[in-house]
Amino acid sequence: MGFLDIRNVTKSYGSVEVLHQVDIEVQEGEFLVLVGPSGCGKSTLLNMIAGLEGITGGEIAIRDKVVNGVHPSKRNIAMVFQSYALYPNMTVAQNITFGLEMHGIPKPDREKAMASVAGLLQIGDLLGRKPGQLSGGQRQRVAMGRALVRDPDVFLFDEPLSNLDAKLRVDMRTEIKKLHQKLGTTIVYVTHDQIEAMTLSTRIAVMYDGYVQQLGTPKDIYDSPANLFVATFMGSPAMNVLPSKLVERDGALHVLVSDSDGRELALRVENAPASYAAYKDREVLLGIRPEAITDPDGADRNARNVRPMTNTVGVTEPAGADTFVTMALSGKDCIARMRADAEVHPGQPFDFAVNMDKAVLFDPKTEDRIA
Amino acid sequence: MAASSDTGVDFRTRLQNWLPKLVLSPSLAVMLIFVYGFIAFTIYISFTDSRMLPSYEWVGWQNYDRLFRIREWNIALNNLAIFSSLYIVISTIIGLMLAIFLDQKIRGEGVLRPIFLYPMALSFIVTGTAWKWFLDPAIGLENTMHLWGWTSFQFNWIKDRDMAIYTIVIAAVWQSSGFVMAMFLAGLRGIDNEILKAAQMDGASNFQLYRRIILPQLRPAFLSAFVILSHLAIKSYDLVIALTGGGPGNATALPATFMYSYTFTRNQMGIGASSAVIMLMTIAAIMVPYLYAELREKS
Amino acid sequence: MAVASTDTAIRSSNWSRMLIYLVLLLFALFYLLPFGIMLVNSLKPLEEITGGNMVALPRTWTIEPWLSAWSTAQIGVEPTGLRPYFINSIMMAVPAVLLSTIVGALNGYVLTKWQFRGSTIVFGLLLFSCFIPFQIVLIPMARILGLLQIAGTTPGLVLVHFVYGIGFTTLYFRNYYAAFPTELVRAAQIDGAGFFQIFRRILLPSSGPIIAVSFIWQFTNIWNDFLFGASFASGGSAPMTVALNNLVNSSTGVREYNVHFAGAIMAAGPTLLVYIVAGRYFVRGLMAGSVKG
């Protein structure tokens, strides 16, 4: 039994079910990220944990106590909102202690709690200001301070970084991670940004269309995506998905794709799982991440199965640290990630190195990974 | 927020779920009694032979039948048609013109705008008092022109049976055209400036710019102005009382003055009620579709 | 934003600008003239009005008409001046404005932050009440006021204006609170604040502008009302507008125009003062009451 249990939870508005049978067990000190595109149900789920929306079916328990129908303020949770939701008419200090005041905590205790939070977040010099006088990053800190001061069982974050500019977002991300490591709190964090999900979480639930598509560690999700949606949603640039065929040649399985001129390319598969056998001579979808297609010098030295592949370069996009190359493979645009100084020229043939250890195959009908 | 069908709700949450409805319910009750109940009562009275006091003797459509045979009611309807169409059209034209002019980066806009708008803060009784005298040939405008030597100048509409209704239009336009101006000005200021720049790049002249680009975007303001002005016109009562008292004779009677005089002065409550019902229906025919559209757009 | 924008987007020749200024000034004159002349003539002795030019300045300045209008002029049958009626109007307007604003604020709060099934219909019912011709409620209202024994009294008028003011105040506050971030309400809920605490501690402190709009518009409408005053207040309890109309349209005796003008300006005074002091909110209320949303 977990610290926060979400058991077979569903949510319907009228006859429309927007969240289907969600089942997640969160351990104490875990950092769970709910990630997915807008409308996937992640915010609804968070609001249900908070008690801001009712639960249609199933139950949610915090510390083994079922909280269905319990008022938000009695669940011992705290929430950081996307807009920070700082009370505009109150000072920072009043914002932080408002919840304590509502819970009838005497003033000296409130001040003590506030002082420690202010120290932790380094917002001591902002306490007398109103939210309107703060920068985005400062508001973010105050919003976290308001959550921390309650010393809740579970922290809920609803896209807290999406209103910050790119640089500040990266800084605050690190800040949140540090805070989590230092305090060991249990966090449920909603975002649509897969990089935030990867960097912050101890576990990720990828959601789409009201279903949890996959629940696992960031590494699981990235390397072994359960299906095509998870594979393409996580990672940037997205995983290449190429129509291909699985055949046996010379006693080994090969994946067949076609190069920019329509000629066949065969990529050998090693250590294939037993399940691949059933797909022999059938159409499959080859999933391969950009960083698994490189220039030969840039290939992963620990990889055991790096295959050469010659193809014509389409477009090159130098991005500073790397150079991205787009080429045509099996009639699709396929992105490869080269070292910055790799000698690639548009329109010229180039010898790529494909790390087939990292390749995954999907069933074209069910779109599930063949494992 | 929390759906009421959810199970296992604690007491505080349940109370919190009920409080909003509890807070709203007195207003709803007041509305149901004082607005909708009263409307129902008046409609009922319009089908009875009530005179000085309400009576509950059902007479069917007789009051409506008689109402439309009364000469004064027909004058009132005719006046309403003249008054409301002129009032709406002239107020809209003046309001639109002033708004467009004020939108030309006018020096002193801050002084002019409040001057155009202040009559809206006045009571129609005050407006009526001022204009009644201004239009009085013996001491007002006509007299002044005569004193200035223009002895052939004649402006005695307020004493003229055929023309008196137009003096009401003048005073009403004076009172509300600034309000229409403010509505159009808000509409003009809401138009994206980049669209105007693009149109000028395309070679549109100022006139074309207004006719083809700007005015079509003011549609909502036109609609609101029309709705507000027409409902003001149908309700007009105070201004007529203060300016002409419905006279000369009953040349400037409007449905609102007719209703009042039949109900409270002439003790023909049944007929007065039926005239009020007609007024309500007229306004409802304009307001209900408008409000329905407004509320739907939002949800 | 737009003041600067028109300047870059629309250019016109110098002389069409002259024409624009001319038209604007003529209209300014049109709006100022009736009231301005009334003000000037309220400071003249009566003979100068009946025998002279209305646009001329007074040859003899006098405040006699003002004193007479305020305290000695014949209103109906009593030579009381307008003073008691002015007080009636204040006694009527102030409670009605306060009550309808409080109720409207709570309604607006519920209708935006605590929506429930059917709340839109409730709002629709309230909204329609803003636009009914009040003739439709005159007959039953007279009966109810009689039954409550407040017919012909100031409390009766307070009730009437309160009831028919709720629609507008609700509209104002609903539109205002609709733009108020709902996340703040949710944050306060998690912080443990209840329905009234959220209203008092979170929404109300940010409601200054809309409270001003509601006060100003309710005050203007109620102060300027004539129909209800004429229908439900008799004799000594009549509001200012009714008394002014009685003063101006009394058929007996010499028409003391200068006294009428002084009285009219007195009746206009409070709402004009509000307009001058808080014109910004006045315009805003105009918009809120016409262009919804």
Per-residue pLDDT band for A7 (boundaries 50, 70, 90) equals: very high
Chains in contact with chain B (at least 3 beta-carbon pairs closer than 8 A): A, C
Tens-digit pLDDT profile for residues A200-247: 999 999 999 999 999 999 999 999 999 999 999 999 899 999 999 999
Q: How far apart are CA A136 and CA A163, in angstroms?
A: 8
Q: Do C202 and A82 touch (CB under 8 A)?
A: no
Q: How far apart are CA A157 and CA A145, in angstroms?
A: 13
Point out which residues pair with A205 in neighbouring strands: A34, A215
The alpha helices in C69-181, defined as continuous H runs, are: 83-113, 119-128, 135-147, 154-178
Provide mean pLDDT across the span B98-121.
87
Residue A260 contacts B, CB cutoff 8 Å: no
Q: How far apart are CA A43 and CA C211, in angstroms?
A: 34
B269, HSE (Cβ side, Cα atoms, 13 Å) = 21
Residue C162 near residue C99 (C-beta atoms within 8 A): yes
A335: pLDDT strictly greater than 90:
yes
Q: Do B9 and A53 touch (CB under 8 A)?
A: no
C175: pLDDT strictly greater than 80:
yes
Q: How far apart are CA A323 and CA A325, in angstroms?
A: 6
Residue C57 near residue C120 (C-beta atoms within 8 A): no
Tens-digit pLDDT profile for residues A314-323: 999 998 889 9
Q: Hey, of B1, B4, B5, B6, which one would you mutate to test binding to chain A, going by the most A CBs within 10 A of its CB? A: B6
Is residue A94 assigned to a domain?
A: yes
A-chain CB neighbours of C205 within 8 Å are 88-89
Q: Do C186 and A81 touch (CB under 8 A)?
A: yes
Which of B:30-69 have CB within 8 Å of C?
30-32, 34-39, 41-42, 45, 54
Residue C250 is predicted with a pLDDT of: 75
Residue B11 contacts A, CB cutoff 8 Å: no
Is residue A369 assigned to a domain?
A: no
Q: Do C187 and A79 touch (CB under 8 A)?
A: yes
Q: How far apart are CA B121 and CA C224, in angstroms?
A: 8
Length of chain B (residues): 299
Residue B102 contacts C, CB cutoff 8 Å: yes
Q: Is B290 helix (H, G, I), strand (E, B) or coil?
A: helix
Q: Which of A56, A66, A69 sits opposite B9 (nearest CB)?
A: A69
Q: Strand pairing of A31-35 and A186-191? A: parallel
The CATH code of the domain that includes A93 is 3.40.50.300
Provide the domain limits for residue A71: 4-233
Q: Which of A82, A83, A102 sits opposite C191 (nearest CB)?
A: A102
A-chain CB neighbours of B9 within 8 Å are 69
Q: Which of A52, A89, A103 sits opposite C206 (nearest CB)?
A: A89
Point out which residues pair with A317 in neighbouring strands: A324
Is residue A368 assigned to a domain?
A: no
Degrees, nearest 5: CA angle C182-C188-C193: 130
**Domains: count for chain A:** 2
Residue B152 is predicted with a pLDDT of: 79
Considering the domain architecture, whether residues A328 and A212 belong to the same structural domain is answered as no
C33: pLDDT strictly greater than 70:
yes
Residue C270 is predicted with a pLDDT of: 93
A-chain CB neighbours of B11 within 8 Å are none
Q: How far apart are CA C263 and CA A94, in angstroms?
A: 52
B-chain CB neighbours of A74 within 8 Å are 10, 12
Q: Hey, of C190, C198, C200, C206, which one would you mutate to test binding to chain A, going by the most A CBs within 10 A of its CB? A: C190
Residue with the bigger pLDDT between B116 and B136: it is B116
C290: pLDDT strictly greater than 80:
no
Residue A121 near residue A96 (C-beta atoms within 8 A): no
A112: distance to nearest CA of chain B, Å? Answer: 29
Nearest chain B residue to A48 by CA distance is B2
| Contacts made by residues A62-65, CB under 8 angstroms, sequence distance 24+ | A62/A3, A62/A4, A62/A5, A62/A153, A62/A154, A63/A3, A63/A153, A64/A1, A64/A5
Q: Hey, of B52, B116, B133, which one would you mutate to test binding to chain C, going by the most C CBs within 10 A of its CB? A: B133
Q: Do B6 and A69 touch (CB under 8 A)?
A: yes
Closest among A145, A160, A144, A237 to A196, alpha carbons compared: A160
Task: Round the average pLDDT of chain B to a whole number and report it.
Answer: 85
Q: Do C190 and A89 touch (CB under 8 A)?
A: no
Tens-digit pLDDT profile for residues B256-282: 999 998 888 888 888 899 999 999 998
- Please say whether the dihedral angle defined by the alpha carbons of residues C63, C67, C70 and C72, taken in this order, is positive or negative: negative
B206: distance to nearest CA of chain C, Å? Answer: 7
Q: Do B260 and C231 touch (CB under 8 A)?
A: yes
Q: Domains in chain B, ordered, with CATH?
A: 72-298 (1.10.3720.10)
* A322, two tokens: 């790397």
B-chain CB neighbours of A56 within 8 Å are 3, 5-6
Interface A-B: count of C-beta contacts within 8 A: 33
Q: Alpha carbon of C194 to those of A103, A177, C202, C212: distances in Å?
A: 11, 33, 11, 26
Chains in contact with chain C (at least 3 beta-carbon pairs closer than 8 A): A, B
Residue C5 is predicted with a pLDDT of: 40
Q: How far apart are CA A242 and CA A260, in angstroms?
A: 13
C13: pLDDT strictly greater than 80:
no
The pTM score is: 0.85
Q: Which of C144, C196, C272 sits opposite B121 (nearest CB)?
A: C272
Tens-digit pLDDT profile for residues A262-318: 889 999 998 888 889 899 899 999 999 999 999 988 888 888 889 999 999 999 999
C139: distance to nearest CA of chain B, Å? Answer: 7
Q: Is B161 helix (H, G, I), strand (E, B) or coil?
A: coil
Q: Would you kindly state where each structural domain of chain C is located, as residue ranges?
A: 12-67, 83-290
Give the number of other Cβ atoms within 10 Å of residue B265's Cβ.
Answer: 9
Is residue A297 assigned to a domain?
A: yes
Is residue A56 assigned to a domain?
A: yes
Closest among C14, C63, C47 to C266, alpha carbons compared: C63
Q: Do A79 and C188 touch (CB under 8 A)?
A: no
Residue A218 near residue A198 (C-beta atoms within 8 A): yes
Q: Do A74 and B1 touch (CB under 8 A)?
A: no
- What percentage of chain A exceeds 90 in pLDDT? 71
Residue A246 is predicted with a pLDDT of: 93
Fill in the DSSP letter of residue C75.
B
Tens-digit pLDDT profile for residues C247-267: 888 766 777 888 888 999 999
Tens-digit pLDDT profile for residues A36-55: 999 899 999 999 999 988 89
Residue with the bigger pLDDT between A214 and B58: it is A214
Residue B7 is predicted with a pLDDT of: 47
- Which strands sit side by side in the sheet containing A315-318, from one edge to the other? A315-318, A322-329, A332-339
C16: pLDDT strictly greater than 90:
no
Provide mean pLDDT across the span A78-98.
91
C-chain CB neighbours of A44 within 8 Å are none
Interface A-C: count of C-beta contacts within 8 A: 58
Largest CA distance in chain B: 90
Provide mean pLDDT across the span C114-131.
88
Interface B-C: count of C-beta contacts within 8 A: 301
Q: Hey, of B10, B15, B16, B19, which one would you mutate to test binding to chain A, going by the most A CBs within 10 A of its CB? A: B10
Residue C293 is predicted with a pLDDT of: 35
Domain covering C83-290: architecture:
Orthogonal Bundle (1.10)
Residue C157 is predicted with a pLDDT of: 94
Write down which residue in A198, A233, A268 finishes a domain. A233
Is residue A69 assigned to a domain?
A: yes
Per-residue pLDDT band for B6 (boundaries 50, 70, 90) equals: very low
C196: pLDDT strictly greater than 70:
yes
Considering the domain architecture, whether residues A145 and A223 belong to the same structural domain is answered as yes
Residue C118 is predicted with a pLDDT of: 87
C12: pLDDT strictly greater than 70:
no
C4: pLDDT strictly greater than 50:
no
Closest among C207, C245, C247, C213 to C226, alpha carbons compared: C245
Largest CA distance in chain C: 76
B69: distance to nearest CA of chain C, Å? Answer: 21
Q: Which of B1, B3, B10 sits opposite A70 (nearest CB)?
A: B10
Residue B21 near residue A73 (C-beta atoms within 8 A): no
Q: Which of A53, A55, A71 sits opposite B10 (nearest CB)?
A: A71
Residue B299 contacts A, CB cutoff 8 Å: no
Is residue A131 assigned to a domain?
A: yes
Q: Which amino acid is at A83?
A: S
Per-residue pLDDT band for B9 (boundaries 50, 70, 90) equals: low
Residue B131 near residue B117 (C-beta atoms within 8 A): no
Q: How far apart are CA B141 and CA C54, in angstroms?
A: 8
Matching residue, tokens 């934003």: C1
B-chain CB neighbours of C260 within 8 Å are 129, 133
Tens-digit pLDDT profile for residues A139-174: 999 999 999 998 899 999 999 998 888 888 999 999
Write down which residue in A201, A233, A265 finishes a domain. A233
Write down which residue in A177, A200, A233 finishes a domain. A233
Q: Do B2 and A56 touch (CB under 8 A)?
A: no
Per-residue pLDDT band for B222 (boundaries 50, 70, 90) equals: confident
Q: Average the pLDDT over each of A221-230, A359-368, B45-54 and give the range with the smallest value.
A: B45-54
Tens-digit pLDDT profile for residues B225-258: 888 888 888 878 888 888 888 778 888 889 999 9
Fill in the DSSP letter of residue A268.
E
Q: Do C190 and A78 touch (CB under 8 A)?
A: yes
Q: Which of A53, A56, A68 sits opposite B8 (nearest CB)?
A: A68
* B16, two tokens: 């919190």
* Torsion angle (degrees, nearest 10) of CA C282, C285, C291, C293: 140
Considering the domain architecture, whether residues A45 and A165 belong to the same structural domain is answered as yes
- What percentage of chain C exceeds 90 in pLDDT? 39
Tens-digit pLDDT profile for residues B159-206: 778 888 898 999 999 999 988 998 898 888 888 778 777 877 777 777
Task: For residue A346, say if its preceding peptide bond is cis, omega within 30 degrees of 0.
Answer: no
Nearest chain A residue to B8 by CA distance is A69
Closest among C166, C171, C157, C170 to C93, alpha carbons compared: C157
A48: distance to nearest CA of chain C, Å? Answer: 12
Q: How far apart are CA A217 and CA A234, in angstroms?
A: 12
Chains in contact with chain A (at least 3 beta-carbon pairs closer than 8 A): B, C
Considering the domain architecture, whether residues A247 and A343 belong to the same structural domain is answered as yes
Per-residue pLDDT band for B149 (boundaries 50, 70, 90) equals: confident
Which of B:140-179 have CB within 8 Å of C?
140-141, 143-144, 147-148, 174, 178-179
Provide mean pLDDT across the span C206-234.
89
Considering the domain architecture, whether residues A208 and A274 belong to the same structural domain is answered as no
A132 burial class (0-12, 13-18, 19+ CB within 10 angstroms)?
A: exposed
Q: Which amino acid is at A302?
A: N
Is residue A90 assigned to a domain?
A: yes
Residue A53 contacts B, CB cutoff 8 Å: yes
C192: distance to nearest CA of chain A, Å? Answer: 4
Q: Alpha carbon of B2 to those of A44, A50, A98, B5: distances in Å?
A: 12, 11, 23, 9
Tens-digit pLDDT profile for residues A8-20: 999 998 889 999 9
* A66, two tokens: 């079922």
Considering the domain architecture, whether residues A214 and A345 belong to the same structural domain is answered as no
* Torsion angle (degrees, nearest 10) of CA B141, B143, B148, B149: 130
